[in-house]
Copies of this chain bind each other. A is one copy, B any other.
Amino acid sequence: MAATIKDVARACGVHVSTVSRTFSAPHLVNPATRSRVLAAADDLGYRPNRAARALTTGRTFNLGLIVADIANPFFPPLIKAAQAQARGRDYHVFVADTDEDPRVEEELIRTFTKQVDGVLLCSPRLSNRMIERLAEDVPFVVVNRRIKGMPAVLMNVAQGAKLALEHLSGLGHRRIALVSGPIGSWTSNEMQGVAAETPGLDLVFFGPNQPTEAGGLGVAADVAACGATAVLAYNDLVALGLIEGLAAMEIGVPDQISVVGFDDILPGRLNRPKLTTVAMPAVAAGRMAVDLLLQSGGEGATVTLDTALIVRESTGRAQK
């Protein structure tokens, strides 16, 4: 059994409160006593039980981070940035994956309640109403979702979509397919909103889709059939799946169809053709989200980060 505070107290003949103070308020205990306690603690391999401590102090020094799909290469940089930032503030980050299932998402949030000091909710699939309700039990920072009065880190998807559409129309594309993501995705809505407002385009919507290669593969045939010469995909994974699907039908990218993705994930950079994409500031977002959560006071501060279009090889001039 692991040593408890009592064992240490007994071992050096002081009261448990003295041991407790040795760790959480060292200046309140006599240097001589302190070193005796430390020696005994070290000897027994004592580590304060964080769960017990949290019970009285109300602080765990843990943060929760919830993502829809840990297999999506978009998240790891964000997660790592959040972890690094948290570590600098003596916090640890626990990550959990919802498998794109809102019910799992809710359950995970409930599980995190009281075990972490706050939750980073990335690209949630829950409804705003539900998130607001859950926010009564544990502080949130939401990433990629705007909810009134709740601290959020947003990526400027609208701006990115605008850049992508301008790029495509500059290449002579008029009929453009919009391959959206899952239901409940704020990003998806933003993209569609911008596209709909851009004049001079002939848009075809496809959705909802899984935000994965499978999703892209699944719509490839429809996209090919609709006569669009360019595609704006929900994210890079979808774009890659789409390109794969088009290749299977002997449709060349970018020769016959241009494809733009979102996120700028690593596989997109390694793919042939290298993917043209809207880069999301995932690292900055992870860092910022942790800051917002910790400095808190947390009054609904909203941070919006800019995106950038990265032109590579999957887009080209429209065919006549």
Q: Contacts A92-B108, A93-B96 hold; do A50 and B114 have CB atoms under 8 A apart?
A: yes
Closest to A265 in B: B267
Asked if A51 and B47 make an inter-chain contact with CB atoms under 8 angstroms apart, the answer reads: no
- Cβ contacts A59-72/B at 8 Å (1 or 0 each): 01010100000110
Asked if A50 and B267 make an inter-chain contact with CB atoms under 8 angstroms apart, the answer reads: no
Looking at A9-17, A23-31, A77-85, the stretch in contact with chain B turns out to be A77-85
- Cβ contacts A227-263/B at 8 Å (1 or 0 each): 0000000000000100010000000000000000000
Asked if B96 and A49 make an inter-chain contact with CB atoms under 8 angstroms apart, the answer reads: no
Q: Give the distance in Å from the alpha carbon of A79 to the alpha carbon of B96 in the complex.
A: 9
Q: Contacts A55-B52, A244-B270, A272-B272 hold; do A47 and B95 have CB atoms under 8 A apart?
A: no
Q: Flag whether A266 is at the interface (Cβ < 8 A).
A: yes
A11 CB, min distance to chain B CBs, angstroms: 18
Q: Flag whether A111 is at the interface (Cβ < 8 A).
A: yes
- Jot down 15 A-B pairs with beta carbons below 8 A, ordered by A: A45-B137, A49-B55, A50-B113, A70-B70, A70-B95, A80-B99, A84-B99, A92-B111, A94-B95, A95-B97, A244-B270, A267-B267, A270-B270, A270-B271, A271-B272
